[in-house]
Amino acid sequence: MSTSNSSKKTIQQKLNNLLRVQKPWFGKVVKGVWILFLVIILGFPLYVFSVGIDLFGLFGGMPSLKAIENPENDLSSEVISADGVSLGRYFRFNRSQVTYDQLSPNLVKTLIYSEDHRFYDHAGMDFWAYPRVIWGLMTFNSKGGGSTITQQLAKNLYTLDLDGPLARLGKIPRRVIQKTKEWIISIQLEKNYTKEEIITMYLNTIEFSSNAYGIKVACETYFNKLPSELTVQEAAVMVGMCQNPSLFNPHRFPKNALNKRNEVLYKLYDHKFISRATYDSVRVLPIELRFAVQNQNQGLAPYFRNVLRNDLIAWCKEHGYDLWESGLKIYTTIDSRMQRYAEDAMLEHMAKLQKQFDREWKQRSKNPWVDEDTGLEIKGFLDKKVKRTEAYRNLVNRYGAGSDSVNIMLRVKKPMTIFTYAGERDTLFSTMDSLNYYNRFLQTGLMSMDPKTGAIKAWVGGVSHKYFKYDHVRQGARQPGSTFKPFVYGTAIEAGYSPCLELLDISPTIKVSGGTWSPLNSDGTRGSGEKMTIRKAMARSINSITAQMMERVTPQNVVDFARRLGITSKLDAVPSLCLGTSDVTLYEMVAAYCTYVNLGIYTQPYYITRIEDKNGNVLENFVPKTRQAMDERTAYKMIYMLQGGVQESGGTSLGLSYDLRSNNEIGGKTGTTDNASDGWYMGITHNLVTGAWVGGDERSIHFPSWSFGQGGKTAAPIWDKYMTRVYRDKETGYGKGVFRRPATGLDITLDCSQHNSTSTDAQDSEDEQVWQVPNN
C-alpha cells in the first residue's frame, strides 16, 4: 500500500516538474495562436477594408463600384464594308471585341484547364493556390499560378494605382497590396458577371504582342482566323501567350512558343480534354502561322481609310467620341469584292506599264523628269528635291547648312527595304539612291461610284500606301485633258445643239488676252478639214471642234455648267479650258459623270452609311445629298455622246474588251494632257461610273511620248480589267444593262448615222421628230 502511494507521488511529482518547466513555453504558444487568430479574424478584414477605401491615402486608389459594374475597355474603331467585311481599324491599342458564342470551345477549355482549372468552383479567388503564391513572395521567386482568370481580368481592366506610401516600401508590400486589390475587384466582378462573361472579357482584354490586343485581333494577326475557327493546337498557342506575350510570341520566338504550346497541350491531356493519341500527334506538329501585323498600310482600301479617318476625327470631335478608343463601328459603302477587283486590276496593269515606262526611258538614256516649257530633262532635279526631305533637314541640323558632310551622308548606302511589284526587296540604298528610285514610279487613282445612290464602291489612291502616301482620288488634283470635253459639249447640248450637228475639223483662231489661240489636234495638225458630227468629234477627241464649241457657248458658261455637276476646283474661264487645262480631282470627275447617268440629278458622293457605338446603338445615319443639275433629256443626250467612244469609227474607247461591250451599253472618254504627264479614262455603264488616272507623283514626271501616255493606253486598261472582274462576280449586283431613258422621251432623234443635216446652227436641230422611249 505504501509502495503504491509512493509510486503515485513520484509520478505526480515528475508531472508537476514537467509542467513547471514547460509552462512558460506553452503559454507563449497559446498566446501566439490567439494573436494570430485575432489578426486573421479581425485584422485581415480590417486590412482589406482599409485597402478598399484607401485609408489615409496609404494604399492608392481603387475603381469605383460603378466602374467595376460597367468596365470601360479601350477599343479600336472598326471600318466595315457594305458586304460586311472588316476593312481595318483605327486604334491606339488594336483591340476588337467578340462575344462568348464567337469563341471556339477548344479555346475556352484550353484557357480553363491551363490557367484556372477550378474556375467554375471558386468565386474569384482560388484559396488552394495561395500557399504557392505566398512561398513565391517569400522567396522572391514567384512562378505565378495563384491568380484566377477573374483576378487576371481585374488586372487587365483596371490600371491599379500603387502610388500609396505603403506600396513604395518594397517589392513585397507592393505585391501584397496589388493582390489585395485584385481580390476585391475579382469578388465584385464575380457578383456582377457570369462565368461566360468573365471568360469573354478576359480574352477581349489580353495583350498578345505584335500590336494585337484581344483574342479576335490576335487570331487575325497570327493565324488569319476568327476565334471560333481555332484548332486545339492553335488555341494552345494563344493561351500560352497569355502568361508572357513577348516571350511566347510564335513569330519572334518560335522555339519558346512551341515549348509553351506543348506544355499547354499536356495540361489538356492531363485533364482528359484530349486523348493520349491526340496529344502525341499534335505536339509534334509545327506552329503554322499566317502572320500579318495589322496597320493602316495593310488590308483593303488603305487610301480610303486614311481619307475616311480625317472625316471621322472631325465627326468624333463634334459628337464627343474618341476614334481610337471608343469602339465605333463605321459602316461604309465600299464593297470589299469590288475594292479587291479594283486593286488587283490596278496592280496587274501598273506592273506592266511601269516595266515599259522604265524600258523606254532607258532606251532614250534620259530621266523622266522633264521641263514643262522646254521639253528637256530638268537638271539637278534630285538635288533640289532632296532638300525638301526630312533626311536632308536632319543632316543640316546635325552638320550645318553647306557642310560637305551633308552631301557625303546623303550618298552613304545603308540597308533598306524597297517596294517592287514583285514584292518588297532588301537592298543597300543611299538617300539619293532612294529618291532616284521612287521618283521613277508611276502612280494611279481609281474611284467607282453608283450613279443613282452616290455610294462609292471602290477607292484606289495609289500603288502602295506603305511607300506612297499621297491619295490620287481626292487629295491630288491634275489636269483632266480631254475628259473635260463632255462639260463643253454638255453646255452646248443644254443650249440646244444636237449631238448630230456637223462641223469641219478646222482649228479656229480665238482671241485671247495678249493675242490669239488656235489649238492643234493630237496629231499636231490644225485639222483635217473633214466634216463630222460633234458626237464623232468627241468620240475621236478632236480638239479643233471642241474649241469651236467652246467659242460658241463661251468659257464662263462651261464653268457654270461644270459647277452644277459638282466640280468645285478652281476653273479658269478661258478658251483653253475646253482641253482640260484646269486641275480637278478624280473624286469630282466621277461624281460629275454620274450626273449624266442619273439623268441630270447630281448626287454628292458618300461613303459612310451609319456609325454605331460599341454596343451597336446607331449614333447617326448618313444619306447622300442630291440636286437637279440639268434636264433629264440633256443628260441622256450626253450619255449618247459618251457612247460614241465605243460606237463611232475612230472612237478612243474602241480598244475595250469585246466581252465588256457585248450586250452592254457603255460610254467612255479618254484624256491625255499635252505634256504627256497625265492619262485619264472615265467609263460609264447604266449602274456604275468609274474613273481612272495614271501619272507621276510629280507633274514633271512625263511619259516618254504623248502616244505612250495617252489615257487609252495608261488608264483605260485599268477600267477594262476592273469591270471585267466585277461582271464575273454576279454577287456584286453590278451586271450589264442599258441606260435609263428619260420618262418624257426626247425632242430629237438620237441616230447620227441617219442624220444628213449640215447645219451648224443650234436652232436648226430643233426640227427633228420627238423620240419616245419607255423608261427602263
DSSP annotation string for 497-519: --TT-EEE-----EEETTEEE-P
Rounded CA-CA distance 362/82 in Å is 44
Rounded CA-CA distance 73/63 in Å is 13
Rounded CA-CA distance 399/37 in Å is 73
User: What is the amino acid identity at position 107?
Assistant: L
User: In whole angstroms, what separates CA 479 from the centre of its chain?
Assistant: 28
Three-class secondary structure assignment of 383-443: HHHHCCCHHHHHHHHHHCCCCHHHHHHHCCCEEEEECCCCCCEEEEECHHHHHHHHCCCEE
Rounded CA-CA distance 448/718 in Å is 12
Closest by CA to 319, choosing from 83, 673, 611, is 611
Residue 329 pairs in a beta bridge with 78, 612
Asked if residues 135 and 260 have their Cβ atoms less than 8 Å apart, the reply is: no
| Predicted local distance difference test score (pLDDT) of residue 32 | 66
Residue 628 pairs in a beta bridge with 601
What is the separation, in whole angstroms, between the first and last Cα of the chain?
134
Asked if residues 482 and 670 have their Cβ atoms less than 8 Å apart, the reply is: yes
3-state secondary structure of 219: helix
- This prediction has a pTM of 0.77
Q: Note the pLDDT tens digit of each residue in 60-91.
A: 556 655 555 556 666 789 999 999 999 988 87
Closest by CA to 458, choosing from 543, 345, 355, is 345
Asked if residues 152 and 202 have their Cβ atoms less than 8 Å apart, the reply is: yes
Closest by CA to 597, choosing from 563, 557, 640, is 640
Residue 443 pairs in a beta bridge with 695
3-state secondary structure of 287: coil
Asked if residues 137 and 175 have their Cβ atoms less than 8 Å apart, the reply is: yes
Give helix 171-192 / helix 149-157 axis angle, nearest 10°: 100
| Predicted local distance difference test score (pLDDT) of residue 26 | 58
Asked if residues 157 and 205 have their Cβ atoms less than 8 Å apart, the reply is: yes
User: What is the amino acid identity at position 219?
Assistant: C
Rounded CA-CA distance 447/461 in Å is 8
Cell digits of residue 128 = 488552394
Asked if residues 528 and 549 have their Cβ atoms less than 8 Å apart, the reply is: no
DSSP annotation of 213: B
User: What is the amino acid identity at position 381?
Assistant: F
Query: Which alpha helices (DSSP H) does 72-144 contain, by range?
Result: 105-115, 130-139
Rounded CA-CA distance 149/275 in Å is 25
Query: Which alpha helices (DSSP H) does 39-143 contain, by range?
Result: 44-53, 65-69, 105-115, 130-139
Q: What does 134-188 look like in DSSP terms, one character per residue? A: HHHHHHT--------HHHHHHHHHS-----SGGGGG-HHHHHHHHHHHHHHHHHH
How high is the mean pLDDT in each 10-residue block of the chain (776 residues)? 58 58 58 65 56 50 57 79 92 79 93 87 66 51 65 73 57 64 77 89 86 87 92 94 91 93 93 93 92 76 94 94 91 98 97 95 91 86 92 92 91 94 94 95 97 97 94 95 98 96 96 91 92 97 97 98 98 97 98 98 97 94 96 97 96 95 96 90 98 94 89 96 97 96 85 57 32 29
Asked if residues 691 and 447 have their Cβ atoms less than 8 Å apart, the reply is: yes
Query: Which alpha helices (DSSP H) does 523-669 contain, by range?
Result: 534-540, 543-553, 555-564, 586-597, 632-647, 658-661
Per DSSP (E only), the strands in 283-421 are 329-332, 414-418
| Predicted local distance difference test score (pLDDT) of residue 767 | 28
